[in-house]
Amino acid sequence: MGEQRRTFSAEDKVRILREHLVEKVPVSQLCDKHGLNPNVLYRWQKEFFEHGAVAFERQDNSRARKFEAKIAALEAKLAHKDEVIAEIMESHVQLKKSLGEL
């Protein structure tokens, strides 16, 4: 059959792109060295620049996760309070019934 596809980790892709972009290694040399098709390298480069902003959003994401956790905790606390109020109202209604007020 055909050759099995090689997979590169995200770190490998960045390292290879760094060789080209920072160290100015020619695409042809990189492709020969790593056994890549130049189209693959250019696709990685395109994806890298399209999604590069994600690298700088880490702090924002951690802040958002922190707020989401706080919201979840407050919602759980509110649900618990609703349960307690329901129990109190139920016992109040039972008491009124036993006193004949309802």
Same domain, 51 and 12: yes
For residue 60, the model assigns a pLDDT of 61
Residue with the two structure tokens 């919602």: 75
Amino acid at 23: E
* Parent domain of 34: 8-56
Contacts of 36 (CB under 8 A, 6+ apart): 16, 30
Q: How far apart are CA 78 and CA 36, in angstroms?
A: 56
Domain count, the chain: 2
For residue 59, the model assigns a pLDDT of 64
Residue ranges of the chain with per-residue pLDDT less than 70: 1-3, 57-61
Same domain, 86 and 49: no
Is residue 64 in some structural domain? Answer: yes
Same domain, 13 and 52: yes
Is residue 46 in some structural domain? Answer: yes
Same domain, 35 and 51: yes
